Structure 1
Amino acid sequence: MVRVDLEIEQIRRSQLHWRESPGRMTQISLPPNSPENPLTFTTANVPDANYIMQEQMIVDDGAENASQEGHKYPLGIEDKIQSEHWERRHKRLKILLDAEKVEISDEGPQQGSDPHFMKVALYLAAKKGDIDGLIDALDTPVSLIHNQITPLRNTVLHVAASFGNEDLVRFLAYHFRSLLSKRNHRGDTALHLAAIAGHLGVVDVLVRFQMDQLNKDSLLDVDVEKNNDTLIGKFEETVVVNNDGNTPLHEALKNNHEKVAEYLIKENIEYAYYINKQGKSAFYMAIEASKLNCVKAILSTRRPYTDQHILDEEITKGRSLVHATITTKNIVLLQEIAKTKPGLLHVKNEHGQTPLHWAASLNFLEGVEFLLVNFKMDMFEKDAYGFYPIHGASKNGHVGILDELLQHFPDAIEFVNDDGQNILHVAAMYGKDSVVRYILNTPELDLPLNEKDKDGNTALHLATINWHPKVVSSLTWDNRSDLGLVNIDGLTALDVAEENMEAMTSYRQRLTWMALKSAGTERAKLKNKPGLEKLKSATYETYNMDFSKDRVNTLLLVSTLIATVTFAAGFTMPGGYSNSEPDQGMATLLNKLTFQVFVICDTIAMYCAIMVAVTLIWAQLGDLTLVLNALKVGIPLLGISLTMMLLAFMAGVYLVVSKLVWLADVVMILGIISLACLLSLFIPLNLPYTSTLTILRYISYYPFCMLMLASGSYYDPVEHDSF
C-alpha cells in the first residue's frame, strides 16, 4: 500500500481541484510554483454541451459569471501538462465547437445519428495518444465522436484507455464526459479496460472524473437498521459493472494488477463488496488469489454496510470469505481475517460446513491447528450431509488432520454420521487405504473393526460395495476382521461382491473378489434368499461368451504364429550345417553351449505353442466351463512359450556375434532386460490369487499390488471437492 500511495501522490502533484457552486467556480488549491494566471475551464456556450473550453482565469467578478446554462461538471485534475500545449489544443477545439450545430446529451448520439466504424486516423491517434492528431481526425460536427466505434463497439476513450494514453484520456474526459459511461460489446467502460490493462495513471484519471459525479457521502447518512433498502440502492449506484457483473476491481484482480486493485480499493471500497454473476465479490477474488495487501486494504476500510454484505447468504450465494481463505491454505490471510472480522469464523458455506470442516477436508493442517488452539472451534457440529469435521478428514484421506483432531478431542473416534458410520466406515467407503492402515496400526484408538452402520454394513462391506481392492486387502489381512459378518440383507462381503459383479466385469471388481476369496471369506448360508441363484454362478457369469470367444481366437492365433516361427528356426540353425564327413548334415556349432541353449529353448517354445493351440481348440466347443478351463491351462503355457522364444533368440544372436565382444554384451544385456520385463508382466496374471494357503498369499501379495497399480486401484482416489 505504501508504494501505491507514493505513486498516486506523484500522479496527483501539481494538480488543480475545482468545485462548482451556483454562480461561480472556486479554486480549492493550486500546485506548487503555479503561474500567476492559471488556467480555468468553463462550459462552452453550446446548449447541453458535454465538453469544456479553456479561458484565462480572471478576477472574482469575472469568475462569478463563469457559470452558464447547461450541464455543469466539477472539474478534475490537470497532471503536469504544459499550459501552452493545453491552451493551443483547446483553441483548436474551440474553433470546431463554434461551428457545432448538433446538440449532445449524456446519452451520446441523438436520434438519426447511427454509429459507424471509427476512422482509421482517429483510431491511430487514440492508440498513439496523439491529441493533435485526434483533433485533426475529428469530423464536423464534433459531436459525432460519440458515434465513432470499433467493431467491438469501443469508443475513442476506450482505445486511449486500453493503450495507457493518460494525457489523451484526460483531454477526452474533460471535453466529452458522456464517453465515460459508454460501453463496448462486453459492457466494459473505459475504466474497465484501463483496469484490465493495468494502467494505474489512466485509472486514476478516470476514477477522478467518475467520483466527481457520485455523491458517495450520502451513503454515510443512511441509517443501516431503518433504511436497508435505501442503503443497498445507494451502494449499487456507486458501482459500474460489465455484462459479467464485474467491476473494474474484479477485472484488475483477474488480470493480476495488484497496484491497480489496491488503488481502486482505496478510492472506492464499494467495488470490493459487489457480487458479480458468478457470485464472487472482488474481496472474495482477492482472497482466492492470495493478494494479502488487497485484503488488508479492504479490511482496514470500513463502511456501515460492509459487514452486512459479507454475511448476507442471499447476496454471497453461500461463498464464505473464510472458506475461500482456507481454500488458498494461506495461514497469514486466515490470521488477518480472524483478527479483523472474527465473526466470519462462524459462517457456514453452501454445504453447511464450518471453517473447521473445510480446513479438515482440504488437509490445511496449519489452519486446523489455528482454529482449534485460538478459537476453540467446535468439533461437535455436523454439516448438511451429517458429517463431523473428523469424517471430512477421513473421507479425503488426511491422516495428519485426523491425528491433530484426535489429540484435541480423543472421544471424536466415536463420532458417527447420520448413517451410523464412524471414520473407518467412511475411509473404507471412499477407498482411503492410508486412513484404514492408520486406524489398523494404531491400537490405542481402540476402534472396533467389525462395527456395523445403519444398514448393517461393516467397513469390509462398504469397501467391497465401492470396489476398493486395496482397502479390502488391508482389512482381510488383519486378524481382527470378522469375514463372516452379514448385513441386514443377510449378505457377507463376498456375497455382496458376487451379487454386484456384472457379466463384463472390470478388473477392479475382479481384484476385489480375489482379495476376498484369498482371505477365505465365506458365502452366507441362506436359503430362498433373492439373488442366491446368481451367487452360485457369479464367477462364471463374469465372462461374457462373445468376449471369451474373441479372447480364445486371439490366443489361438498367437500360439499358431509362435509354433510356425519356432518350427522354422529349428531347421535354420545359426552357423549352418557341416558338408564334410563324418559330420555331414550336423550343425557346425553343435558343441557350443549357447547353441545348445538355443535348441532347447526353441524346442520348448514350439511344443508349448502346439499344446496351447490344441487346448484352445477345446474352447471352441462353446461350453463356458470348457472355455474357462482351457484358458487356465493355455495362458500359462503360452507364457512359457513366449519366454523360451525370447531366450532362444537371445542365445542364437549372441552365438553368431560372440567374436565381437561389445556387440555380444549388448545383445545379452537387452535380452536380460526383456526377459525381466516379460516375467514381471506375465507372472502376475497367472498366480493363484484366490488360494487360501498362507504361503501362497504371501507369495502373491506383491504381484497382487502390481495388478492393483496396473488397474489404477493402488493409490487412494482423489477427491477434487469435499462433496
Structure 2
Amino acid sequence: MSDNLLNLNDPLSITEIEPDDLLNLLRDRPFIAEDEQGSLLYEPAVPPSHDEVHPMDDQLLDASVSGNSSKMKHLVLHDPEVLLGTTSQGSTCLHMSSILGHHKFSMAVLALNESLLSKVNLYGETPLIVAMKSGHISLASTLLEIYNEKKLSEMILNSDINGDTALHHAIRHGHEDLALKLINSEPKLSQKVNNYNESPVYIAVMRGFDEVFKQLWEIDHSSHKGPYGDNVLHAAVRNANISIIIAIMRSRPELAKEKNKSGHTPIKYAVDRNQTSVIREMLQHDRSLGYLVNSNKEGNPLLVSAASRGHIDVAREILEHCPDAPYINRAGLTILHQAVLEGHIEFVEFILQNSQLDKLINMRDSCEKTALHYAVKNCNPKIVRALLDHQDIDVRIYDSEGTPAFWELIDAKDSSKSLNWNEVFMLMSKADEKATPFYDQVARKKIIVKSKQEIKSLTAIYTKNTSLVAILIASITFAAAFTLPGGYSNDSETKGLPVLVRKAAFKAFLISDTLAMCSSLAVAFICILTRWEDLKFLLYYISFTKKLMWFAYMATTVAFATGLYTVVEPCIRWLAILICILSIGLPFLTYLLTLKLYYRFNLAHMASLLDVV
C-alpha cells in the first residue's frame, strides 16, 4: 500500500495513529479512489460546520457508553463529522462519556474535536456540569483545567436550566476541593444565583463548608441570597456556626435585619431554635436586633417568640442586652399571656420572679383579658397557683364582656369532669371567697343542665365497668366457697365436712366470702336499674354502688387473706401474718388515696359538686 493510502477496514491500524496525526491525515490528503482492498485516498476537505445538528450514530453512542476509544476513532475516519451527533436530549458523545466517567475516551474525543467543550444539551449542561453532577471528580477536574487552558470562561460560568453552575453542583454534592478550584478559576461564579434564588455561598454555609465560605466571602460583590427570601446569615444561624456569623456581622451587618417572606430575621431563627450563644453573639455586635418585630400578621417581638416556645435562657439573654425590649404583639398579647396560653409553667415562673416584668401581671390584651383569664380557661392549676401567689395579682379584673377570670372556669364546663377543673375551682374560690357562693351556685346549675343532656353517656361506661367487676367478684367468691382451704375430711365420722371448720380464721373466711359475694351481686342487680333516666336517682346510684363495690372489694381481700392464713399458719406463721397484713391493708390504701385527693383540693365542703361532675 502506498503512503497515500489508508485501510479503513483495519481497526488495529487506526488505533495506532495518534489523534492529531489522524486529523492531519483526514484534512491534508486528497481523495483519489478506492482500490481492491478497500483502501481510500483523501483530498483536502472543508472543515465541518459545528452549528449543524446531527443525530448521534448508534455505533458512536455504544462506543461512548462503553468507553471504546478505538471504535470511536474508526468511526471518525469514515465520517469526521460523526462526533457532532447528538442524542434526542441534545447530548454529545462527550456528554455521554462524562456521565459514565470514561476519562480516556473523553480525552480522545477532545483531541479530535475541542468544540465539544462548548456544547450544551437540552438541560443546558456542559460536559463539565455533567461530570460534576455524575460524581466523576477526576474527569471534572481535568475538564476544568482544559477550560482554563482554552480560556473558555463563559463555559465555566454557564448555568443549566435550573440556573445552577458547576460551582453550585460541586458544593451541593459535597466536592469541597473542586469547588475551591472553581472559585480560583472563575471568581464571578460567586455572583451566580440559580432559579431557586440560591447563591453558592448560601449552599456552602448550609452544607457546613467553612473554607468554601471564606473563599467566596472574600470576593467583592459575591451574592448572599437564599431561597424564600433568606440570606446567608439565615443559613449560618440555622447551623449555629458562630465563626461564620461573626464574619458576616462584621462585613455585612445589614443582613442581620433582612426579613424573609415570612417576616423572619436571622435572629428570629435563633430564638425559635433556642440558640442562646448565637443570640448573645449577634446582640453583642448590634443591640438593636433585640428590638426587631416580625412583619407577619402576628407581629411578634423576639420575647413573645421565646415565650411561645418556653425558651427561658433566650429571654434572659435578650433582656440582659435590651432591658426594654418589646414584650407585646399586635394582638396585645404579652409574653406572660403567650407563656400561659402555651402552658409553659417554667417561663411563667421566670416572669413572675423578674421584678422588671411585674408590670405584665395584670396587663390586658386586645380583648381586655389578663393572663389569669387564660390560665383559668385552660384549667391549668399549676399556672393559676403561680399567678395567684404573686402579690400584685388582681382576680377581679373584667374583660371586654364584663366577666372576671373566675367566670372563664364556669364557661369551661366541658372540662368540669377533670381534676384540674376542680383544683382550679378551689384555687379561685380561695382567691375570691366573697364571690365563691355565687360561682358555686352557677357552676352547679350549668353542670347539672349539661349532665341531664348527657345522662346516658354519663352512666353507660360506668355501669358497664361496674357490673363487669361485680360479676367477676361474685364468680370468684362463689367458686371459693366450694373449693375450701384445707379441703374436706375423709374420716368416717366427719366425712364431707371441712377439715379446718373449727378454726377462727376459717370462719372469718366463710363470713367475708359470703359478704363479698352478696354485695357484688347486689351491685350487679342495681346496675339493671340504670335504665331509669332520672338524674337524681343516677347520682345516688353512682354514689351508693361505689361504696358497695368498695365493701365487696374489701371483703374479697379479707377472704383471700384468711383462706391462705388457715393453710399457711400451721407451717410458717410469720408468712401467714404478712399475707394478712398486705391483703387486708390494700383496701385501706385505696381509701387513703381518695382522701389525698380531697385534702389536695380541700373539697370537704364540695363533695356534692364532685358527685355531680
Match of 1:282 in 2: 200
Alignment of 1:509-588 (within 5 A): 510=418, 513-521=421-429, 536-538=445-447, 541=450, 544=454, 547-548=457-458, 550-552=460-462, 554-556=464-466, 558-570=468-480, 571-573=482-484, 576-580=487-491, 582=494, 584-586=496-498
Looking at structure 1, the residues matched to 501 and 26 of structure 2 have their Cα atoms a distance apart, in angstroms, of 107
Give me the whole-angstrom Cα distance separating, in 2, the residues matched to 1:679 and 1:142: 98
Cα distance change of structure 1 residues 695 and 240 upon mapping to structure 2, 3 Å threshold: farther
What displacement does 1:435 show? Answer: 0.7
User: In structure 1, what is the Cα distance between the partners aligned to 2:173 and 2:468?
Assistant: 59
Indicate yes or no: 2:127 matched with 1:166. no
Instruction: Tell whether the 8 Å contact from 1:563 to 1:607 is kept in structure 2 after alignment.
Output: no
| Partner in structure 2 of residue 132 of structure 1 | 70
1:88 matched to 2:7: no
User: Equivalent residue for 1:452?
Assistant: 364
Deviation at 1:467? 6.5
Deviation per CA, 1:2-23: give whole Å up to 9, x if none: xxxxxxxxxxxxxxxxxxxxxx
Partner of 1:78: none
Match among 213, 216, 220 for residue 295 of structure 1: 213
> Match of 1:516, as an amino acid?
V
Contact 1:601–1:645 (CA<8 Å) still a contact in 2? yes
* 1:459 Cα offset (Å): 0.8
Contact 1:108 1:178 in 2 (8 A): no
1:3-18 maps to which residues of 2 (within 5 A)? none
More divergent stretch after superposition (438-447 vs 389-398): 438-447
- Alignment partners' CA distance in 2, 1:197 and 1:568: 79
Q: Which amino acid in 2 is paired with 1:410?
A: P
Shifted more, 159-168 versus 369-378: the winner is 159-168
Q: CA deviation at 1:483?
A: 3.8
Residue 519 of structure 1 aligns to a residue whose secondary structure is helix
Indicate the residue corresponding to 1:391 in structure 2.
304
Change (3 A) 1:564 1:137: farther
**Worse-superposed segment, 613-622 or 391-400:** 613-622
Between Structure 1 and Structure 2, the one with more helix by share is 2
**SS, match of residue 387 in structure 1:** coil
Q: Measure, in 2, the Cα distance between the counterparts of 1:145 and 1:625.
A: 97
Which of 322, 333, 350 is the equivalent residue of 1:409?
Answer: 322
CA contact 2:230–2:260 (8 Å) conserved in 1: yes
1:207 aligns with 2:140: no
Change (3 A) 1:518 1:374: same
CA distance in 2: counterparts of 1:600 and 1:91, whole angstroms: 118
Contact 1:566 / 1:605 at 8 angstroms: preserved in 2? no
Q: Which residue of 2 aligns with 1:241?
A: 160
Who is 1:194 aligned against?
Answer: 131
CA contact (8 A) 1:119 1:148 kept: no
Shift of 1:473: 5.1
Q: Which runs of 5+ in 1 are unaligned?
A: 1-83, 217-235, 526-531, 697-723
Say yes or no: does 1:259 pair with 2:177: yes
Q: Quick one: structure 1 residues 387 and 171, their matched pair in 2 at CA, closer, same or farther if it must change by over 3 Å?
A: same
Is this contact kept in 1: 2:271–2:305, CA < 8 A? Answer: yes
Amino acid aligned to 1:621: W
- Offset of residue 334 of structure 1: 0.6
Counterpart amino acid of residue 281 in structure 1:
S
Alignment-derived partner of residue 6 in structure 2: none
Change (3 A) 1:539 1:498: farther
Distance 1:382 1:114, change over 3 A: same
In the superposition, relative to structure 1, how do residues 92 and 215 fare at CA in structure 2: closer, same or farther (>3 Å)?
closer
Cα deviation for residue 610 of structure 1 reads 3.9
**Conservation of the 8 A alpha-carbon contact between 2:474 and 2:518:** no
Higher relative contact order at CA 8 Å, sep ≥6: structure 1 or structure 2? 1
Contact 1:169 1:205 in 2 (8 A): no
Alpha carbons 2:124, 2:161 under 8 Å: kept = yes
Structure 2 match to 1:31: none
1:514 and 1:690 in contact (8 A); partners too? no
Report the counterpart of residue 9 of structure 2 in structure 1. none
Q: How high is the TM-score relative to the length of structure 1?
A: 0.61
Displacement after TM superposition at 1:458 (Å):
0.9
Contact 1:118 1:148 (C-alpha < 8 Å) held by counterparts? no
C-alpha spacing 1:441/1:574, structure 2 compared with 1 (3 Å): farther
Paired with 2:77 and 2:443, the residues of 1 have a C-alpha distance of 87
Q: Match for residue 718 of structure 1? A: none
Tell me if the contact between 1:160 and 1:168 (Cα under 8 Å) persists in the aligned partners. yes
Give the match's secondary structure for 2:107: helix
Aligned length: 558
| Pair 283,512 (structure 1): closer, same or farther in 2 beyond 3 Å | farther
The Cα offsets for residues 69-88 of structure 1, whole Å up to 9 and x where unpaired, read as xxxxxxxxxxxxxxx98953
Equivalent positions of 1:299-448 (< 5 A) are 299-303=217-221, 306=222, 309-310=223-224, 317-384=228-295, 385-412=298-325, 415-443=327-355, 445-448=357-360
Per-residue deviation, residues 629-680 of structure 1 (Å, max 9, x unmatched):
655665687688779879988998999999999xx9xxx9xx99xx99x979
Is the counterpart of residue 622 in structure 1 residue 533 in structure 2?
A: yes
CA distance, structure 1, for counterparts of residue 84 and residue 547 of structure 2: 83
Structure 1 residue 437, shift from structure 2 partner: 1.6
The Cα offsets for residues 534-579 of structure 1, whole Å up to 9 and x where unpaired, read as: 9942576388456446524541453254235423442334553333
Cα distance change on mapping 1:208 and 1:437 into 2, 3 Å: same
Counterpart contact for 1:499–1:535, Cα < 8 Å: no
Greater CA drift, 334-343 or 251-260: 251-260
Contact kept, 8 Å, 1:460 with 1:493, in 2: the verdict is yes
Superposed CA offset, 1:182-218 (max 9, x none): 447x7765444433454332222333556657555xx
Deviation by residue 1:599-635 (Cα, 9 ceiling, x = unmatched): 8987776566445534543433234565566556656
